[in-house]
Structure 1
């Protein structure tokens, strides 16, 4: 069952309790207006032609669980907004989806107070969307995206989706362009099958320029970075490296002292018939994760309610998690080291052909077929169904069929 009834009830209760906690009491609440309630959902299914590997979304879902697999894309979200006074409001959002710990427990994904400071300038305090990508604002509301999911080669490079902190959004007119300037600061944390990760002292700046159907996104972020791996593969490898005097290498695999940066450039063009979307991102890290870059280009053409599209995507390894020279006499440790590096490398290339059928102004049915080739030393966006040492998947190709029904209400 994709959304157990108990989890759905807990999601509704959580949102209502949070909303009640922030709502003004007495007549002041009535004067402020009524709350705006909305929701969104995706029912998605994924299958591949490989019986030795699962499709997975890095940092989003737990690998496997069935074939077809409903966990990568299926979700249910509810949102409430309330205007307190003429120049401020609050927004709460809760989401239920399978996370990296194989749990559907509802999670608060937005909870912020917004204050208008001046014409065109507002500040938000609390939990806001982490704006690392061009399409970060619509990441959970998949109805707003043309595909079954944003290309994993790009959007898998930074799985942090929310930020606890503060941001400012300033809208201005620059000649014929509409400009949005978006600085932000905060921290974030996620869990994934191998452990946990956290961003601290995260600061960033985005610039979006729009004119008609064209928009340009530019973004940069820096953060302190920590990763704690707990999977048996990591524990065994770290112990083996320490035993041969490579403890410094082991300390580069997991810990609290990392630094990372993230850059993104994106463009969109839509003339109501043709839709062109492209994005390039780059992640730099001094330890714990790879330094990688990725891009995609997607072109779609509308024919009434039906929009076929094709997408090319690529993720490239720039620097591995760490480097080590293993003595030739330690063949077992060397093999374990190579397998470890492959498991932390998501580099691959893919070609996707799909279509979107808008059933109504609030519902869309999507289907897409993806042919992916993993780099020879990478797991890409897949996860072995058996132990990696027994069933290596690096260098393989996979054909993946994805279906989704996206709703807003």
Structure 2
């Protein structure tokens, strides 16, 4: 983690410990009063409908303890406190693993490990390490899970002057969503390769898991009461032990005075979470301690995001009324599959060592019929209209 402070130093043959942390204090304003802006699906968001200015979207604090037992063995523990779907700020274990350096090029880890996904996957919650206020929500918000419990192996190798790190991981993830619902990823397997050639870094990743999300159970249980056609709809859209796959490819070119970076990913959950492609492209220019930047990002669905649902034509009136409600609920669920594009502009000011102030303007347009990445959507929400999001954060490390 960038900015960790060494707490104890000793010789090479004695244990060494380091302690540090990071944090973000921020506020967000959304111009839409019929929805809330959020950075990912595991943060309830509070800017827009809930509050004119919300502090929970980006604010967090994390601490990290690292111990090097000797030249082979090391361990790390990272705790992060941020707002969750339970409206709690209780610290959670983000990382907790032991590493064995088998050779100078091969390392093995066991425990809770960052997922090998996306360019900033290893430090996405440490805002100080990011050029922007937050990673583009179209891509990073689609995969809010940031770690898994399991094992991984990383191998460093070279091809000429080009350096590579190939990482293979296997594990599982389990997290509460609401008091009665959890998200579970079993058999979570991934491989990534990071290539560095001078100022250019390229990362390619693939991740797959058997995914279950216990949301909208009443809706799917209701559909199954309608016989074969209801069962078919529930089987198609319910997220229960479905194989989900994520592919991503990204680059970062940073020669010093300026940078350009972009990523594209496809996420297919074979369920109401959808099959979607998200991407962004951004650039910035450093002028002393000030870095203005721009980003364009978008998310599109690779499937139909509306369905005719149950055929109500031959049903008696009372049964048809219930079926119509279920059809409406299913289409409301499909409307949460993000289809939107956004243009962002901001500035980062490194006002003093270990502190960065950032201001960001986002113009986000959910496409017609989609809620985009907005949540807590009210009946008056109008898709197809641009929404302005203003953010101000202070990032720090210690």
Q: Judge same fold: TM > 0.5, yes or no.
A: yes
**Secondary structure, aligned partner of 1:373:** strand
Q: 1:33 aligned to 2:15?
A: yes
Question: Which string of whole-angstrom CA distances, capped at 9 and with x for unpartnered residues, describes residues 57-85 of structure 1?
Answer: 23231132533111111001000011112
Question: Which string of whole-angstrom CA distances, capped at 9 and with x for unpartnered residues, describes residues 343-390 of structure 1?
Answer: 3x122100001010011231100011000110222211212354xxx3
Match of 1:336 in 2: 329
Return closer, same or farther for 1:189/1:375 CA change in 2, 3 Å cut-off.
farther
| Aligned alpha-carbon RMSD (Å) | 2.2
One of 258, 265, 268 as aligned partner of 2:252: 268
TM-score by length of 2: 0.88
Match of 1:208 in 2: 194
Greater shift, 351-360 or 281-290, is seen at 281-290
Match of 2:44 in 1: 62
Return closer, same or farther for 1:69/1:114 CA change in 2, 3 Å cut-off.
same
TM-score by length of 1: 0.86
Contact 1:160–1:189, Cα closer than 8 Å, also in 2? no
Contact 2:67–2:75, Cα closer than 8 Å, also in 1? yes
The list of structure 1 runs, each at least 4 consecutive aligned residues, that deviate by more than 6 angstroms after superposition, is 28-31
Deviation at 1:327, TM superposition (A): 2.6
- Following superposition of structure 1 onto structure 2, how do residues 239-250 of structure 1 map, counting pairs within 5 Å? 239-245=221-227, 246-250=230-234
Match of 1:352 in 2: 344
| Partners of 2:238 and 2:309 in 1: CA distance | 18
| Partners of 1:383 and 1:48 in 2: CA distance | 12
Contact 1:291–1:321, Cα closer than 8 Å, also in 2? no
Contact 2:306–2:331, Cα closer than 8 Å, also in 1? no
Aligned length: 374
Return closer, same or farther for 1:260/1:61 CA change in 2, 3 Å cut-off.
same
- Following superposition of structure 1 onto structure 2, how do residues 202-241 of structure 1 map, counting pairs within 5 Å? 202-229=188-215, 234-235=216-217, 237-241=219-223
**Comparing both structures, which one devotes a greater share of its residues to helix?**
1
Match of 1:396 in 2: 385
Contact 1:241–1:247, Cα closer than 8 Å, also in 2? yes
- Following superposition of structure 1 onto structure 2, how do residues 7-26 of structure 1 map, counting pairs within 5 Å? none
| Partners of 2:335 and 2:91 in 1: CA distance | 32
Match of 1:171 in 2: 156
One of 83, 97, 122 as aligned partner of 2:68: 83
Contact 1:204–1:219, Cα closer than 8 Å, also in 2? yes
One of 99, 104, 109 as aligned partner of 1:114: 99
| Partners of 2:12 and 2:264 in 1: CA distance | 47
Match of 1:375 in 2: 367
Contact 2:220–2:238, Cα closer than 8 Å, also in 1? no
| Partners of 1:269 and 1:328 in 2: CA distance | 56
| Partners of 2:303 and 2:181 in 1: CA distance | 21
